[in-house]
Amino acid sequence: MGVPSKKHQLLDKIMKEYKLKTDAELARFLELKASQISKLRHNRLPVGAETILRVHDITGWEIKTIKGLLP
């Protein structure tokens, strides 16, 4: 299997930090639809400004940190 994309790094870091076990839990945590998480994971949806701000608002992480986990 190939190298995971950096989008996975963002999602996986959130899951690890907040002890979330499934993408469904991640979707609820980020107040996103499960289909959005799936599309992000499979590179069918870009991580846009709205998603970055949502991650920032929910986690308190700096925008710079979040962007550093993106491609």
Q: Which of 71, 46, 68, 58 is nearest to 14 (CA)?
A: 58
Judge whether residue 48 has pLDDT over 70: yes
The verdict on residue 1 lying in a domain is no
Summary mean pLDDT of the chain? 91
Roughly what angle, to the nearest 10 degrees, separates helices 23-30 and 34-41? Answer: 110
pTM: 0.86
> Any idea what DSSP says for residue 5?
P
Mean pLDDT of 2-25: 85
CATH number of the domain to which 20 belongs: 1.10.260
> How many structural domains comprise the chain?
1
The verdict on residue 18 lying in a domain is yes
Cβ neighbours, 10 Å, residue 38: 13
The verdict on residue 26 lying in a domain is yes
pLDDT at 1: 43
- pLDDT tens for 16-45 read 999 999 999 999 999 999 999 999 988 899
The verdict on residue 42 lying in a domain is yes
Domain that holds residue 32: 6-68
The verdict on residue 21 lying in a domain is yes
